[in-house]
Amino acid sequence: MAVALRALLRPARAPAPARLLLRAPIRLSSAGTQFQYLMVEKKGAKQNVGVIQLNRPKALNALCDGLMNEMNQALDFFEKDPDVGAIVITGSEKAFAAGADIKEMQNRTFQECYGGSFLAHWNRVSLVRKPVIAAVNGYALGGGCELAMMCDIIYAGEKAQFGQPEILLGTIPGAGGTQRLTRTVGKSLAMEMVLTGDRISAQEAKEAGLVSKIYPTEKLLEEAISCGEKIAGNSKLVTAMAKEAVNAAFEMTLTEGNKMEKRLFYATFATDDRKEGMAAFVEKRKANFTDH
Ligand code: CO8
């Protein structure tokens, strides 16, 4: 079922004035924007968690180009909404996403892929500045596993399965499956998954560090939203710095990463939220962050 964005755009409270990092929310026409492949809404007691649910059940949420274009629109929308402090991406109980749409890819030529930078816009999720949580139930295969790995935190339902089965189709992962997976679970397991196409269970994924928590299938989304609410309750400004610092660990040497972390740590001392956080601790009260 496609959903109108109109309801979503009705904030729970008046939007805060535009802040340093965050621009004013997008205003859509009264007709709203229809998503064909997604359901998009704001959740949480304070409506501060953006939820994007893949909704292409007949194809087990296979990632067609249209779906990924919509995903980018939804991410842009939540990125710009100053009330949203975290984003959750989820699928159905049967499938988070069963990979890139094989039927859509089947007749592509090398020239089209290379010349047209085929699916180059698929990494948008990894560029979002707000924290993104993947709530994975069922299959997360190929591009679906890669999509989950582009998120910052992965929660899994107890029946989730992760895999990179591209080798069985005569191709290889193309959206980080050889890179993010290897950095996360190490060479032996990544090689085994990429070279055999075998899937791993939620439990194996947790043991390997791919997933941070496992929940019963029906509780998963609720728990992911609750994690999003916890994150959204902190300073959005400082949260963005914390995310940037952790991500630097994947790109930099330890010395460079530690230097960058120190610079960001010092930068928090230029914020009202650092002052408020420490004052609240000393005064034994809850901090009231303003994202300044
Ligand atoms: N693409 C297109 N359609 C799919 C896909 C897919 N990836 N997965 C499932 N479907 C469709 C099936 O064709 C079927 O449609 P229909 O009813 O019209 O025949 C429907 O979904 C239901 O699927 P099944 O009948 O197969 O359901 P099962 O429960 O029997 O099996 C599986 C579920 C095990 C998930 C099975 O569907 C499967 O193996 N799917 C393919 C998994 C796969 O190989 N994924 C990797 C795809 S390649 C990839 O992701 C590369 C990413 C590169 C990104 C590059 C960015 C630059």
CA dihedral (105, 110, 116, 117) positive or negative: positive
Split at pLDDT 50, 70, 90, the class of 115 is confident
Average pLDDT over residues 3-9: 45
Q: Does residue 142's CB lie within 6 angstroms of at least one atom of ligand 1? A: yes
Q: Domain of 134?
A: 6-232
60 pocket-lining for ligand 1 (C-beta < 6 Å):
yes
The Å distance, Cα 99 to ligand 1 centre, comes to 6
- Closest ligand 1 atom to the C-alpha of 165? 44
Do residues 52 and 65 share a domain? yes
Give catalytic status of residue 100 as yes or no. Answer: yes
Same domain assignment for residues 188 and 258: no
DSSP code per residue over 207-256: HTTS-SEEE-GGGHHHHHHHHHHHHHTS-HHHHHHHHHHHHHTTTS-HHH
Q: Is 276 an active-site residue? A: no
What CATH number does the domain containing 200 carry?
3.90.226.10
pLDDT tens-digit map of 155-184: 999 999 999 999 999 999 999 999 999 999
Tell whether 228 and 241 lie within a shared domain. no
Task: Please tell me if the CB atom of residue 100 comes closer than 6 angstroms to any atom of ligand 1.
Answer: yes
Residue 102 shares a structural domain with residue 13 = yes
Element spanning 192, H or E: helix 187-196
Residues in the chain, overall count: 292
- pLDDT given for residue 33 in this prediction: 60
The pLDDT confidence band at residue 273, using thresholds 50, 70 and 90, is very high
For residue 98, give both structure tokens. 């069963």
Same domain, yes or no, for 168 and 261? no
Rounded distance between C-alpha atoms, residue 71 and residue 54, angstroms: 9
pLDDT at 181: 98
Residue 288 lies in a domain: no
Residue pair 277/235 in contact by the 8 Å Cβ criterion: yes
For residue 193, pLDDT beyond 60: yes
Residue 6 confidence (pLDDT) above 90:
no
* 285 CB burial (10 A radius; 0-12, 13-18, 19+): exposed
CATH number at residue 261: 1.10.12
- Within-domain flag for 129: yes
Q: What is the pTM of this model?
A: 0.90
